[in-house]
Amino acid sequence: MEIFTGWPSWAHAEGPLRAALPPATVGALREALAFAGRKHGVQQRPTGRPYLEHLLEALEVAVSGAGVSDRDVLVAIVLHDVLEDTACTEGDLARRFGPEVAALVRRVTKPPGGVKADYLASLVKAPHKAVLVKLADRVSNVQELQRMSWRFQRRYYLETVAYIMPLAGAHPWFAEWFGEWRRRWRRVERWPG
């Protein structure tokens, strides 16, 4: 199972991105990452690592793993948490990155006060591009699940199997990656709830 942690900063990501994508897309990604950095500020992941590492991991998953090259999808991957975790609005995103990016980010954002299971279940009706954003995000989140508490591991594993893996079925690379991931983590199914 491939792990995507090779782009901890823009300096690490820029070369591979330039080799894989048109210059205009790389420029848009640089701008999106700078924007996300300003919005997320000093926010950290639950593991204590800088939040921007997660955004770069998800981008690495999409580009280096799944071979995604669609500019709007990739920019939305970098920005996928700004509506949920910062004061950024959909209008801010639309003005800065276009309505398509704003719509993709909105589609993968859990509504305020919403039930997470309902939100995840609704993703089966999401557009193909929004599903790609969510799949790249979740690969980043689960690839090193061992860093989290065993209770979190079990809950997140079961949630991923129930809601995310069915989405991956229409995307061969993601289906294969999550299939291998599940085989490695299946032991979690036997853990007490």
**Distance from CA of residue 48 to its chain's centroid?**
18
Would you state the structure tokens that stand for residue 110, as one six-digit string? 């859990």
- State the DSSP code for 65: I
Look up 2 and say whether it is catalytic: no
d(CA 144, CA 75): 23
Please say whether the dihedral angle defined by the alpha carbons of residues 92, 97, 98 and 100, taken in this order, is positive or negative: negative
User: Residue 68 half-sphere exposure, CB side, CA atoms within 13 Å?
Assistant: 29
Which residue intervals of the chain are DSSP H helices? 10-20, 23-40, 51-60, 71-79, 82-85, 90-97, 99-107, 116-122, 128-142, 150-159, 165-168, 172-185
Pick the closest to residue 110 from 94, 129, 93, 126 (CA basis).
126
Question: Of the residues 14, 31, 85, 92, which is catalytic?
Answer: 85
Question: Of the residues 53, 84, 92, 144, which is catalytic?
Answer: 84
Pick the closest to residue 147 from 49, 12, 6, 70 (CA basis).
49
Look up 159 and say whether it is catalytic: no
d(CA 101, CA 34): 16
Catalytic positions, please?
84-85
